[in-house]
Amino acid sequence: MGITNNSSVTSTHSKSSSGGGGSSTSSSTTDNTIVRGKGTDKAAYIKTGKGTVKYVKPIAKKKAIKITVPDTIKINGKSYKVTSIEKNAFENCKKLPSVTIGKNVKRIGKEAFSGCKKLEKMTVISLHLTKKSVKDSLKNSYISIVVVPKKKKAAYSKIFSKKNTASRYPIIVKKMK
């Protein structure tokens, strides 16, 4: 897969209790996969519809120490909502201790965090997740704490159950401050 420098891509993440903000530029590939970000925050996306993209994977998996799936990315000045995370997206990010899921994410793919041995905490800003949209998403993961918006704590406690997500460990759901 060759990378060309024919488009400008930026990402944005609204400020929340988990931080965020900022933007960066990068490049696009010729097979509809868009790459954005810098250093360990560089990630691949695929357009999924009009104004939406899917988070495919971080580019520097082995070096990733903190990842935020942004709310939106910009491609050639147009905003695209990041609405889903690909199955196995973070597979074997062995040094990654935490991940933040942006507010527009509606689906997290199967085994998205498989083999992330240091990943214990996930912060979810999205209000759009359902039991079906996260089914088996934590299979073979080590996540034990999920921090969620206050108003979704009860619903997300059921959604992020060990049984539904196929997690290795019981999951403690905490509300954001």
Q: What is the pLDDT of residue 128?
A: 97
Q: Model confidence over 41-52: pLDDT tens digits? A: 689 999 999 999
pLDDT score of 104: 98
Supply the pLDDT for residue 2.
Answer: 35
Give the residue ranges of the chain where pLDDT is below 70: 1-31, 37-41
**Cα distance between residue 104 and residue 164, in whole Å:** 21
pLDDT number for residue 26: 42
Q: Where are the domains of the chain?
A: 7-175
pLDDT at 1: 34
pLDDT at 21: 39
pTM confidence score: 0.80
Distance CA(102)–CA(9), nearest Å, equals: 17
Terminal alpha carbon distance of the chain:
43
pLDDT (0 to 100) of residue 25: 41
Q: What are the structure tokens assigned to 104, written together? A: 């527009």
CATH number of 7-175: 3.80.10.10
d(CA 27, CA 35): 6
